Amino acid sequence: MAKTVAATGNEAVANALRQVNPDVSAAYPITPATDIMQRFTSFVSNGKVKTEMILVESEHSAMSACIGASAAGGRVMTVTSSQGLALMWEMLFIASGLRLPIVMPVVNRALSAPLNIHCDHSDAMGARDSGWIQLWSENGQEAYDNTIQAFLIGEHMDIRLPVMVCMDGFIISHSIERIEYLEDNEVKNFIGEFRQLNPLLDIEHPVSYGPLILPDYYMEFRKAQDEVESKVFRVVLDAAKDFEKISGRKYGLFETYRLDDAEIGLVILNSAAGTSKDVIDEFRNRGIKAGLLKPRLYRPFPYKETGEALKHLKAVCVLDRADAFGGSYGPLFIDISTSLYTYSKKPILINKIYGLGGRDYLPEHAELVLNELTEIAKTEKVKTIKEYIGVRG
Sites of contact with other proteins (CB under 8 A):
23-24, 26, 50-52, 54-58, 60-62, 64-74, 76, 90-91, 94, 97-100, 160, 197-198, 200-203, 205-214, 216-217, 220-221, 223-224, 227-228
Instruction: Give every CB contact of residue 154 below 8 A, 6+ residues apart in sequence.
Output: 101, 102, 103, 133, 160, 161, 162, 163
Return d(Cα 152, Cα 18) in angstroms, integer. Answer: 15
Nearer to other proteins, 95 or 111 (CB): 95
Provide, rounded to whole angstroms, the least separation between the CB of residue 182 and other proteins.
23
- Closest contact distance (angstroms) between CB of 224 and other proteins is 4
Closer to other proteins at the Cβ: 56 or 288?
Answer: 56
CB of 98 or CB of 362, closer to other proteins: 98
Please state the closest distance from residue 312 (CB atom) to other proteins, in A: 37
C-alpha to C-alpha distance for 51 and 41, rounded to whole angstroms: 9
What does DSSP say about strands 3-8 and 176-181: parallel, antiparallel, or unpaired?
Answer: antiparallel
Quick one: 388 exposed, middle or buried, by C-beta within 10 A (0-12, 13-18, 19+)?
middle
Closer by beta carbon to other proteins, 1 or else 212: 212
Are residues 49 and 42 in contact, defined by beta-carbon separation less than 8 angstroms? no
In whole angstroms, the minimum distance from the beta carbon of 19 to other proteins comes to: 17
Could you give the CA distance from residue 176 to residue 338 in angstroms, rounded to a whole number? Answer: 36
Residue 346 identity (one-letter amino acid): K
Residue with Cβ nearer other proteins (46 or 384): 46
**Cβ 133 vs Cβ 154: under 8 Å:** yes
CB of 78 to other proteins, least distance (A): 10
